[in-house]
Each structure stands twice: as C-alpha cells, then as structure tokens.
A and B are shown apart, each in its own frame.
Chain A
Amino acid sequence: DSGVTQTPKHLITATGQRVTLRCSPRSGDLSVYWYQQSLDQGLQFLIHYYNGEERAKGNILERFSAQQFPDLHSELNLSSLELGDSALYFCASSVDSQGDTEAFFGQGTRLTVV
C-alpha cells in the first residue's frame, strides 16, 4: 500500500458525460501529479500541483481540469468524455526522503467510456 488513495477504483460512463476522480496523497506530501495511461501505453503526464498551486502542466486536454484543495487532496475533472478517454488514471504524491525524491502512486481509477 503506497498510502495514496484514489477513488473510485472503477468508473463506467457514457460519452459526453463528466466525471470527477479523486486523489488523497500520503500524509504530509504536498505534491500531487496526475497521469493518464491508455491500454498498453506509457504514462502521460497531465498536471502537477504543489501545496494548492499548479506547478506544471503536461499534455492535458482543455476538457480536463484539476485542482488541489487546502487539505491537499486533489480532483481531476474530465468533461465531454469521448471513447478515447478510456484509460487508467493515476495520481502520485511525492516527498523528499533520505536524499531521494520518491513519488508514490495510487492504484489508479479505471475509466471506461461507452
């Protein structure tokens, strides 16, 4: 168990709909990263938040948005869903520990758009 909690674990929805994915980072971790992984594909970096502020943005579609709340949990909002948005969505949180910067990943939310 990485300590990063993602909900829900599975989500099935129809095209055109909107969903919200939730991520609770490890206690004390200020950074949250979001990734999309389509079937048999690599991890696509979407966005990075640090202590409530957007730190870096990757290839995140305009239909997607995210935020990090004062309690440090984060939400990824996906709207006007398309079939191609079906993927595993991971979040990670990171901490500096013993000289390393280690990112801990959640188990992901599997989104299926039908």
Chain B
Amino acid sequence: LAKTTQPISMDSYEGQEVNITCSHNNIATNDYITWYQQFPSQGPRFIIQGYKTKVTNEVASLFIPADRKSSTLSLPRVSLSDTAVYYCLVGERISGGYNKLIFGAGTRLAVHP
C-alpha cells in the first residue's frame, strides 16, 4: 500500500493560490490519487481524483507528474472557509469502491484575512 507524505501545516491569505504537495514514492500501477477536505467534527469531503497529468474541476486542480511519485493539489484564490485539513490518498480502485481507503496525517491549512 502506497504511503503518502504531506506537509503537516500550511498558512495562506485570502485570495492567494495554495499548492499542497503529496509524496507517494511507491505508488502502484493501479493506484489512483484522491484528495479530501475535512472540517472539524465533520466527515471528509471528496475534492478531486486523478491518475496522471492534470485534472481540474470547479473547486481545484490536481497535477500529477509522469512518474506519479507525487501530486499537487492546487486551490485557486482561497477564502477563510477553505481552512481545513486536506488529505491525500493513494489507493487501488475496484468495482464499486477502493480496495482500501487509507488516510494519512493530512495537511492543516489555515487561511488568514
């Protein structure tokens, strides 16, 4: 199972772009990279998922280099409400779900006025 490493915490200011990088050196061929957001006392919420290159949706972009040993979550123009813990997950997708869905320690992002 691929282990992930992320910065423990990051600080930013409103309106800035935030990039959170996750390292997953032993990612397997069948593994996908997924990012979740969690607010205190709430369940995590799916942000974005990718396999390679770049994926973009309405809230974030995910950059994955060719070797897939790392990935970067990019949050454009953050606001105070983006203050949360962000988790990078690497896992094998199977029919109807994941083989395992293992969360790492996450990155605690604090957005300041």
Q: Which residues of A contact B (CB under 8 A)?
A: 2, 4, 29-31, 33, 35, 42-43, 45, 48, 50-51, 55-56, 58, 88, 90, 92, 94-96, 100-108, 110
Contacts and interface: CB of A to CB of B under 8 A. Distances in A.
Contact of B97 (A101, A105, A107): A101
B97 A31 contact: yes
Interface in B30-55: 32, 34, 36, 38, 41-46, 49
Contacts, number: 82
B97 A94 contact: yes
A106 B38 CA distance: 12
Contacts of A92: 43-44, 101
Contact of B41 (A4, A88, A100): A88
A45 B103 contact: yes
Contact of B96 (A2, A56, A94): A94
A101 B105 CA distance: 21
A102 B49 contact: yes
Contact of A30 (B38, B87, B96, B103): B96
A95 B49 CA distance: 13
Contact of A103 (B42, B97, B106): B97
B81 interface: no
A4 B46 CA distance: 14
Contacts of B38: 43
Interface string B84-113: 000100000101111111111110000000
